[in-house]
Structure 1
């Protein structure tokens, strides 16, 4: 690629690993096309990112901007995994303090584009000052952006703005096609203050998203036309600007050939002893932490199901989290040999790739969904926060996953519901549709040729915009 056609793109994700990893995956694909990427985050977050293969490590420039200190965050809290849910707003306020160092970096590095996340609503004046084009890159799915609505709704300018949780439990008026995609009441209640109303200290996530969308030159979405074309068209209609799907960005990993550590070796030894397609893999991502009642119902449901299980359990979110959750008394003794509870890091891709895994009990985080589809593992869905409820509804609508039945008001569920859902999806004829459909969509999500097409299309259009800017 000629130097004149080479783009310099800055990546600025929100401080959550569910956001940083897709931004990194897209960065890897972009630099392989001959362009330059500067990946911006805080020092600790960059140090915690997955290793890059030697062929790429010199191509991505990692830029460490120290997070401004705030009294409401511990010194080393730099990502959502480091703090309880009620402290995440202080992470956003600290992140807002990066405007000056980011300005300095943009002035010195003169990039063509900056890809930025929903939380960064203050970016446009800075980018404009240094003549940098802006792309809002959503790791949220097109349906989530679609039901969120136009900018006027998100900013609260529209007189018909949704004002109470119940308003979010049905398809909104601006969605012109039939869809079941909406929040359940307990899901929107859990995030209503942060996402919709905000408070005296912090603007709402909806407001941040609205400004971020409004001020972008283009919108890029982790999506593909083959999976949700009607939602992508809706986004173009709502926002009246170009929308580019970038593919599903399946996770790629790099490890030295001699780097298979004891953790995986021990896990693999246990998985090797289990029957093919019999194990339930249970993991709720880096963000979701069940309540004590939820934890108890999950544990007893796993036990009742009779299925072997491997459970990656998050019991705490950072050092400020004083609400420690505990497994039911005697649970680990009763399930010894039959199930494993892991409270530290576990190699999710390797576990999902193992033949003994027959199903995945997941929170519906989109990266985990894509990883399950990579290996054809049928999904049982249990949502906790953020966009997970919408993701789950999309999966249910397309027969890719089964939601565990819950009380719509408070989100409670029974151990019997857990056991029945797991057995249906993994063993029973009634659940065959989930086992079959997950394999059918593998080509849509994980075909490298299709992924390559989406990145090429994105970059071609970015180059056109860049050339128009300079002429």
Structure 2
């Protein structure tokens, strides 16, 4: 950490793995630049405070029942959290500001601003009432965030026409580079509750003091130009946050460290890494198709299967016959969770079968690992299109969870000439993104502007 600048930043992550990681990474970045850090968090999916002894952690009640914490409906979960956390958060923030005002002497610190996730829709009016600047941390790709606000209109105007099977592969002009089948999948699963929620996100983001994106010009140039016009607030695209402090993820799951020694025994670029994130689920039939696809590819694989990620089963993979699991382990390794950044950077990894969450997509790019895209929902569908259709650094399964399709994609990626071309393009993309983080690079400059901006709140 640089010498303390006497300023404290408050951070408030959404309690989802894909939101906690970038928030803690941003906290580390700001702390390294002299800011003191306070993280306000919910009891549900609480980050591990002991892993970050230099930060102050404050817990607030989230009001969730045990049943509600187990829901797979993310929209419902976020709606419940926004309803129940407002009063506890207001009380916590008010006390912090009062305590800061009461401090005397040379050690007095000023609270500079609040940085929280765009999914918290009650924090903007609270911060405004307390005269505290609020910056929005956004964990989506810029192009998804700015375009997803058109979804309610598309639901009203296009939903029926999208169901024409002959047009499923046609592009969606209002939401590039999505295809109509992608958009139908998004609109099919989401509800009017989400439309109302998105409207509030738009309004509170426009009223904020600025937006922070974990992206860069090299990944989102056109969208950043458009976003600055749309929101009319300062925007900071500071690049892949994990690149500043590699291996500093804040996992909510117990990590199986045995996967690294296992990878050490494998040949270079021979292993297919498989993970579908912290939220997505598959059923038993899909599990078996993926398992056979991996086994039949005859390539070593490292497969993350979270507890409860296989629905309609018993617990984890205990429902699968032991002989079948033993057969899988002859060629691969199955773990509950793993240190993904370390895995992707390992010399043995040759490809990533992924759900294309933004964090996973960017981590794969930074490690120069080509992808096989199997998006499940929401922004994953757009990220996958960028990977396969725009940057051309991966292959798209087009939703086909079939053993022959998966086997074929793995073989083409790891053993074929198509895979060689993809790896070359991925290496170029990695270099360009890496350049943005170096002095004079776009993300480097944007981060410096962010530091100056936060510091200016107390001048």
TM-score band by shorter chain is 0.7 to 0.9
SS of residue matched to 2:272: strand
1:63 aligns with 2:58: yes
* 1: CA distance, partners of 2:157 / 2:122: 24
Instruction: Kindly provide the CA deviation profile for residues 315-354 of structure 1, in whole angstroms up to 9, marking residues without a partner as x.
Output: 5159xx7555767655323333211222x22222332232
* 1: CA distance, partners of 2:416 / 2:116: 44
**Equivalent residue number for residue 135 of structure 1:** 135
SS of residue matched to 2:15: coil
* 1: CA distance, partners of 2:181 / 2:247: 37
**Contact in 1 for aligned 2:62/2:85 (Cα 8 Å):** yes
* 1: CA distance, partners of 2:158 / 2:10: 36
**Equivalent residue number for residue 105 of structure 1:** 92
Using the size of structure 2 for normalisation, the TM-score is 0.82
Segment of structure 1 superposing worse, 330-339 or 215-224: 330-339
How much does 1:366 deviate? 1.8
**Contact in 2 for aligned 1:68/1:95 (Cα 8 Å):** no
How much does 1:163 deviate? 6.1
1:33 aligns with 2:27: no
How much does 1:186 deviate? 5.6
Instruction: Kindly provide the CA deviation profile for residues 68-126 of structure 1, in whole angstroms up to 9, marking residues without a partner as x.
Output: 144742xxx3xxxxx24237614531343111121122223233322222321122221
Instruction: Kindly provide the CA deviation profile for residues 139-160 of structure 1, in whole angstroms up to 9, marking residues without a partner as x.
Output: 10111113224xxx46x5x799
Q: 1:171 to 1:187 in 2, by over 3 A?
A: closer
**Equivalent residue number for residue 416 of structure 2:** 428
1:356 aligns with 2:344: no
1:339 aligns with 2:335: no
SS of residue matched to 1:40: strand
1:440 aligns with 2:428: yes
**Equivalent residue number for residue 144 of structure 2:** 144
**Equivalent residue number for residue 126 of structure 1:** 126
Q: 1:172 to 1:237 in 2, by over 3 A?
A: farther
SS of residue matched to 1:288: coil
Matches for 1:289-304 after TM superposition, within 5 Å: 289-304=281-296
* 2: CA distance, partners of 1:427 / 1:84: 40
SS of residue matched to 2:274: strand
**Contact in 2 for aligned 1:250/1:374 (Cα 8 Å):** no
* 1: CA distance, partners of 2:158 / 2:142: 23
Matches for 1:67-78 after TM superposition, within 5 Å: 67-70=62-65, 72-73=67-68, 77=69
1:189 aligns with 2:182: no
1:253 aligns with 2:247: yes
Q: 1:22 to 1:213 in 2, by over 3 A?
A: same
Segment of structure 1 superposing worse, 226-235 or 352-361: 352-361
How much does 1:307 deviate? 0.9
Instruction: Kindly provide the CA deviation profile for residues 281-313 of structure 1, in whole angstroms up to 9, marking residues without a partner as x.
Output: 111111122233322221111122111111111
Q: 1:262 to 1:14 in 2, by over 3 A?
A: closer
1:308 aligns with 2:304: no
Q: 1:105 to 1:389 in 2, by over 3 A?
A: same
Instruction: Note the aligned Cα RMSD (angstroms).
Output: 3.2
**Contact in 1 for aligned 2:9/2:38 (Cα 8 Å):** yes
Matches for 1:356-435 after TM superposition, within 5 Å: 356-396=348-388, 397-404=390-397, 406=398, 411-435=399-423
* 2: CA distance, partners of 1:184 / 1:363: 19
**Equivalent residue number for residue 172 of structure 2:** 171
**Contact in 2 for aligned 1:124/1:216 (Cα 8 Å):** yes
**Contact in 1 for aligned 2:284/2:313 (Cα 8 Å):** no
**Contact in 2 for aligned 1:250/1:445 (Cα 8 Å):** no
**Contact in 2 for aligned 1:294/1:412 (Cα 8 Å):** no
Q: 1:205 to 1:455 in 2, by over 3 A?
A: same
Q: 1:101 to 1:363 in 2, by over 3 A?
A: same
Segment of structure 1 superposing worse, 214-223 or 11-20: 214-223
**Equivalent residue number for residue 22 of structure 1:** 22
Segment of structure 1 superposing worse, 19-28 or 454-463: 454-463
**Equivalent residue number for residue 94 of structure 1:** 81
* 2: CA distance, partners of 1:208 / 1:285: 27
**Equivalent residue number for residue 462 of structure 1:** 454
Hey, which bits of structure 1, 4+ residues long, moved more than 6 A? none
Q: 1:336 to 1:46 in 2, by over 3 A?
A: closer
**Contact in 2 for aligned 1:250/1:370 (Cα 8 Å):** no
**Contact in 2 for aligned 1:147/1:182 (Cα 8 Å):** no
* 1: CA distance, partners of 2:418 / 2:233: 43
Using the size of structure 1 for normalisation, the TM-score is 0.80
